[in-house]
């Protein structure tokens, strides 16, 4: 039967993924963590691009499906699998534990925003930190699956850097820091706006500060990633730049739908279009970082 099927399908095009070519070198703990984050960033970006095209087919609006089954869930789960696999392959269980700590730290930092959500809607929001950690079980499960699947990734014969994964990880972590700082400023602004007079300029100033933190942070993230890549193949730089701009179409759509009139103050226009400016500056930062690296000694 196998021979019959093989003969019938021999004329059809086929796609073969050769995992033997996926060789990832061992890394020190810190770089292994960044490589894992970078792998998740790359997988999430590529899947997001793919789902933009395939979502109408995979998730037709007329077909009923569970609320949790969507592109975001698939992207996060696949990204966490990639993170677990690369973490264990590059740095062992220590790198995986490092990443788990990174996830827990993010949840801890987000405490203030959760408190505000709980005050506004205590029924819909999960307010207990332990409940939130347990509720992230799909992420922990995906990391475990990735750790087991890491056996499918062949390690290089000796230790050597993984520049693409390193740079993607640096970009992702720096961007997370920027968005976290911007989110914290936004929470402070919302709390102040509830108790301030309409003429108080503080909320407007903080809105600009939050947006500027996000925009400048994205530029810095791109520059750092460009410095890590150095003089290596420009294809890696182009890939990260493309993935950095994945959110651009969605950001443009939301900015246009914001209902802000054309004749607005410059600061309000900046706040409205910050999510459009930031990805562009992130890609630009990659080029600047690469240019700065070209003035130094050649990469090994």
- What residue ranges do the domains of the chain occupy? 24-59+66-161, 162-300
- pLDDT attached to residue 281: 96
Contact (Cβ atoms closer than 8 angstroms) between residue 294 and residue 231: yes
Name the pTM for this structure: 0.84
The predicted model gives 83-90 an average pLDDT of 95
- pLDDT attached to residue 170: 97
Which of 57-61, 109-113, 191-195, 246-250 tops mean pLDDT?
246-250
- Comparing 73-87, 109-123, 162-176, the range with the smallest average pLDDT is 109-123
Contact (Cβ atoms closer than 8 angstroms) between residue 150 and residue 89: yes
The predicted model gives 193-222 an average pLDDT of 81
- pLDDT attached to residue 264: 78
Contact (Cβ atoms closer than 8 angstroms) between residue 143 and residue 189: no
Query: What distance in Å separates the CA atoms of residue 222 and residue 280, rounded to the nearest whole number?
Result: 10
Contact (Cβ atoms closer than 8 angstroms) between residue 34 and residue 61: no
Query: What distance in Å separates the CA atoms of residue 295 and residue 292, rounded to the nearest whole number?
Result: 6
Distances (CA, A) of 207 to 69, 186, 211, 247: 34, 7, 6, 21
The residue written with tokens 């196998």 in the block is 2
Mapped onto helix, strand or coil, the DSSP state of residue 163 is helix
User: Taking CA 214 as the corner, what is the angle to CA 212 and CA 218, rounded to the nearest 5 degrees?
Assistant: 115
Q: 257 versus 221: which is more confidently predicted?
A: 221
- Comparing 51-60, 118-127, 218-227, the range with the smallest average pLDDT is 118-127
Contact (Cβ atoms closer than 8 angstroms) between residue 214 and residue 182: yes
Q: Label residue 295 by pLDDT band (50, 70, 90).
A: confident
Total length of the chain: 300
Query: What distance in Å separates the CA atoms of residue 154 and residue 24, rounded to the nearest whole number?
Result: 7
- pLDDT attached to residue 8: 40
- pLDDT attached to residue 255: 82
Q: Would the pLDDT of 23 be above 50? A: yes
Q: Would the pLDDT of 71 be above 50? A: yes
pLDDT tens per residue across span 243-276? 999 999 888 888 888 766 667 788 888 988 999 9
Which of 85-89, 108-112, 153-157, 250-254 tops mean pLDDT?
85-89
pLDDT tens per residue across span 126-182? 677 888 888 899 999 999 999 999 888 766 655 567 899 999 999 999 999 999 999
Which residues, in sequence order, are bridge partners of residue 155? Answer: 24
Q: Would the pLDDT of 98 be above 80? A: yes
Query: What distance in Å separates the CA atoms of residue 244 and residue 280, rounded to the nearest whole number?
Result: 8
Closest CA to 246 of 52, 82, 76: 52
- pLDDT attached to residue 20: 43
């Amino acid at each position: 039967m196998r021979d019959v099927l093989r003969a019938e399908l021999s004329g059809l095009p086929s796609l073969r993924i050769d995992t033997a070519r996926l060789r990832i070198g061992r890394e020190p703990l810190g770089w292994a963590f960044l490589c894992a984050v970078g792998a998740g960033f790359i997988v999430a970006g590529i899947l997001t691009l793919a789902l933009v095209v395939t979502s109408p087919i995979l998730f037709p609006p007329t077909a009923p499906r569970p609320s949790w089954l969507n592109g975001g869930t698939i992207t996060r789960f696949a990204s966490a699998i990639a993170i677990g696999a690369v973490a264990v392959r590059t740095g062992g269980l220590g790198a995986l534990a490092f990443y788990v700590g990174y996830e827990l730290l993010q949840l801890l930092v987000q405490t203030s925003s959760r408190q505000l959500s709980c005050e506004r809607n205590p029924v819909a929001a999960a307010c207990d930190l332990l409940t939130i950690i347990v509720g992230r079980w799909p992420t922990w499960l995906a990391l475990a699956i990735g750790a087991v699947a890491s056996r499918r990734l062949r390690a290089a014969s000796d230790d050597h850097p993984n520049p693409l994964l390193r740079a993607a990880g640096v970009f992702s972590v720096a961007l997370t820091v920027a968005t976290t700082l911007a989110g914290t400023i936004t929470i402070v602004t919302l709390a102040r706006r509830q108790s301030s007079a309409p003429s108080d300029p503080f909320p407007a100033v903080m809105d600009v500060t939050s947006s500027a933190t996000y925009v400048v942070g994205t530029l810095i993230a791109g520059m750092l990633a460009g410095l890590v890549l150095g003089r290596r193949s420009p294809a890696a730089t182009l890939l990260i730049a493309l993935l950095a701009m994945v959110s651009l179409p969605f950001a443009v759509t939301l900015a246009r739908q914001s209902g802000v009139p054309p004749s607005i103050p410059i600061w309000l226009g900046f706040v409205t279009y910050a999510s459009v400016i930031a990805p562009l500056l992130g890609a630009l930062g990659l080029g600047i970082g690469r240019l700065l690296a070209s003035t130094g000694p050649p990469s090994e």
